[in-house]
Structure 1
Amino acid sequence: MTTLDVDAVLAFVTIADLQSFTRAAEALGATQGAISVKLKRLEDRLGRRLIERTPRTVRLSAQGAVFLAGAREFLAAHDRAMAGLSATRRRFGLGIAAHVAGPEVPTLLARLNAHDPGLTIEVRMDNSRVLLDAFDRGELDAAIIRREDDQRGGDVLGPEHFGWFAAPQFDYRQGEPLRLAALSPTCGVRNIATRALDSAAIPWTEVFLGGTSSMVTAAVSAGLAVSAFSCRLAPPGTVEVSQRFGLPPLPSTEIVLFSTLTDAKSREALRTLAAAFREHRPNS
């Protein structure tokens, strides 16, 4: 019977997640040569090539794609078995910006829980600035936010692109003030949108201000106004209207993961979280 080596399977999954031997070695605190040896040992044990590697790309082979889900389950089962030896549960305070959270969040949390069942995950959702302040005060172990004016480092999870969205029946005549729906004046996306309109000398008026995100979405979906949204989180049924109405392009920003955790187990949890987020984002 073929038996699997945990370290070798972990090396394979990390390479698959990061699509890079170099980044996988950095994530696992090993050398690139050691990662390659572990992968080769696993492939020899299985009698299958799992990773296709060229000078420019690293990708799963057909057999690797089939094996990946089972490999994740194998590692999760191993972690659950090890966690069962400890009666102490660890707290993990995670902040996720409300304007970043999308349909991938349940998958992120499920992956994090499967990776380390010994974690008690406490999730807080708010705007980026509030979460970053809470992180600075030590109230959160990690925070996933949209980078706005803060230029500190962090692990970039991917770009965030914005567009102008409205209901298909929304009517706008050039020369008239653009009817804009937005959140509070402190909302980062609102500021991006209004600065772009001002720079393009397009008059605008806020017909819906200060509500919740669901209320803004309802106003746009009903055809009452236009609003700037992340392209991946635009309300269903709305359409991008930049070209149609001659609206200015909106600058992109980044989704960033902040954390000060340094112990090995917590860093592994963060790598799992980052990989799951990247995996479930559409190509940008």
Structure 2
Amino acid sequence: MIYDNHAGQAPARPRFEPVLLRSFIAVVEARSFTRAARHLGLRQSTVSQHVARLEALAGRRLIARDTHRVSPTPDGDALLDFARRLLEAEARIDAYFAASALRGRIRIGASEDFVFSALPEVLADFAGRHPEVDLELTVGLSQTLYAGFDAGELDLIFAKRRAGDRRGRVAWAEELVWIARPGKRPVAGQPVPLVLYPPPSVTRERALEAMDRAHLPWRIACSSGSLSGLRAAALAGLGFAAHAARLIPPGLAPVPPDAGLPPLGLTEFVVIGPEGRHPAAALAEALLSASDRIRSAGITPGGG
């Protein structure tokens, strides 16, 4: 703990270290110390120690723990917003003073999931801070982006976690949900019409596996390689799509749980790229620090 020991002055409050705040945010978002540790690449005991130190510094209970769930206390909810803003400010400060050293080209690949998110604004902010860096953006399916990265055609990818691939840093984890035109529900006794990306697609695989596990008949009502195409088909009422809960395209809404469609589980969005002095490493930090801004922008009033 760091205190001001000048004579006649009250001691300063101890510093809330970024590493402690990152662990706290991960626990709140994952609702689990175990999942938070996995996302951060740390031991569970280390994450628990970070939260305990943070609670000692705050002098407040920040996380409520019981046998069923882990959730923030009212003080924890208050700290959560402050913590996110502090970490984002720290990233902006680092980026600002490193601006003169950044130059070159970054070939970034972004998942179709981000078409209607704030990702373009985040990239524009980065380009404005680093005018000597040229950005080349490729939007595509996550599986295709992995192939491009592995082939050396992309420097950085921002996509859904591929099954069995543990590379990258987790920006966030959230539920995949079924979405459709508001009010649309499956018709009993008929195959469920699905609106899906073509293979290879992480989301397509998850959706079909869930349908098969639930022994529900299905048919492909529309297949499109773009999120704009899937949105148009879903808006037309052609069928149901699987999508990240906080990145739902405008005009569409989550299908109610009582509609009978199977749960799709969690998916992780990861940033995979180089480290060190490569310009792409700075962009990766910017994306991770702006993750809350990117995912929250996908929710539109009245449209899911």
Instruction: Kindly indicate whether residue 190 of structure 2 is the aligned counterpart of residue 176 of structure 1.
Output: yes
Structure 2 residues without counterparts, runs of 5 or longer: 1-14, 27-56, 63-75, 298-304
Alignment partner, residue 137 of structure 1: 151
Instruction: Kindly indicate whether residue 210 of structure 2 is the aligned counterpart of residue 228 of structure 1.
Output: no
Tell me the CA shift for residue 160 of structure 1. 3.4
In 2, the alpha carbon distance for the partners of 1:262 and 1:226 equals 43
Q: Bigger CA drift: 248-257 or 179-188?
A: 179-188
Alignment partner, residue 111 of structure 1: 125
Tell me the CA shift for residue 112 of structure 1. 2.1
Instruction: Kindly indicate whether residue 174 of structure 2 is the aligned counterpart of residue 194 of structure 1.
Output: no
Residue identity opposite 2:132 in structure 1 = G
Assess, with a 3 A threshold, how the Cα gap between structure 1 residues 54 and 260 changes in structure 2: closer, same or farther. Answer: farther
Instruction: Kindly indicate whether residue 165 of structure 2 is the aligned counterpart of residue 151 of structure 1.
Output: yes
* Count of equivalent residues: 239
Residue identity opposite 1:127 in structure 2 = L
Instruction: Kindly indicate whether residue 273 of structure 2 is the aligned counterpart of residue 263 of structure 1.
Output: no
In 2, the alpha carbon distance for the partners of 1:56 and 1:251 equals 30
Tell me the CA shift for residue 155 of structure 1. 0.4
Alignment partner, residue 43 of structure 1: none
Assess, with a 3 A threshold, how the Cα gap between structure 1 residues 247 and 155 changes in structure 2: closer, same or farther. Answer: same
Q: Bigger CA drift: 218-227 or 268-277?
A: 268-277
Alignment of 1:1-284 (within 5 A): 15=18, 19=22, 53=58, 78-79=97-98, 83=100, 89-210=103-224, 212-263=226-277, 267-282=281-296
Please say if residues 106 and 279 of structure 2, whose CA atoms lie closer than 8 Å, have aligned partners that are also in contact: no
Please say if residues 242 and 249 of structure 1, whose CA atoms lie closer than 8 Å, have aligned partners that are also in contact: no
TM-score normalized by the length of structure 2: 0.64
Assess, with a 3 A threshold, how the Cα gap between structure 1 residues 265 and 61 changes in structure 2: closer, same or farther. Answer: same
Assess, with a 3 A threshold, how the Cα gap between structure 1 residues 159 and 115 changes in structure 2: closer, same or farther. Answer: same
Residue identity opposite 1:260 in structure 2 = P
Assess, with a 3 A threshold, how the Cα gap between structure 1 residues 181 and 96 changes in structure 2: closer, same or farther. Answer: same
Assess, with a 3 A threshold, how the Cα gap between structure 1 residues 211 and 112 changes in structure 2: closer, same or farther. Answer: closer
In 1, the alpha carbon distance for the partners of 2:224 and 2:82 equals 52
Assess, with a 3 A threshold, how the Cα gap between structure 1 residues 177 and 123 changes in structure 2: closer, same or farther. Answer: same
Alignment partner, residue 5 of structure 1: none
Assess, with a 3 A threshold, how the Cα gap between structure 1 residues 273 and 235 changes in structure 2: closer, same or farther. Answer: closer
Tell me the CA shift for residue 158 of structure 1. 0.3
Tell me the CA shift for residue 101 of structure 1. 4.3
Structure 1 residues without counterparts, runs of 5 or longer: 1-11, 24-51
Residue identity opposite 2:143 in structure 1 = R
In 1, the alpha carbon distance for the partners of 2:58 and 2:95 equals 26
Deviations 1:205-229 (A, max 9, x none): 2222346432221121122212212
Deviations 1:73-114 (A, max 9, x none): 87666555xx2xx7x931122111223444221232133224
Please say if residues 162 and 230 of structure 1, whose CA atoms lie closer than 8 Å, have aligned partners that are also in contact: yes
Tell me the CA shift for residue 233 of structure 1. 2.6
How big is the alpha-carbon RMSD for the aligned residues of Structure 1 and Structure 2?
A: 4.0
Please say if residues 159 and 254 of structure 1, whose CA atoms lie closer than 8 Å, have aligned partners that are also in contact: yes
Assess, with a 3 A threshold, how the Cα gap between structure 1 residues 154 and 211 changes in structure 2: closer, same or farther. Answer: closer
In 2, the alpha carbon distance for the partners of 1:156 and 1:215 equals 28
Structure number with greater Rg is: 1
- SS of corresponding position for 2:296: coil
Please say if residues 107 and 276 of structure 1, whose CA atoms lie closer than 8 Å, have aligned partners that are also in contact: no
In 2, the alpha carbon distance for the partners of 1:206 and 1:16 equals 46
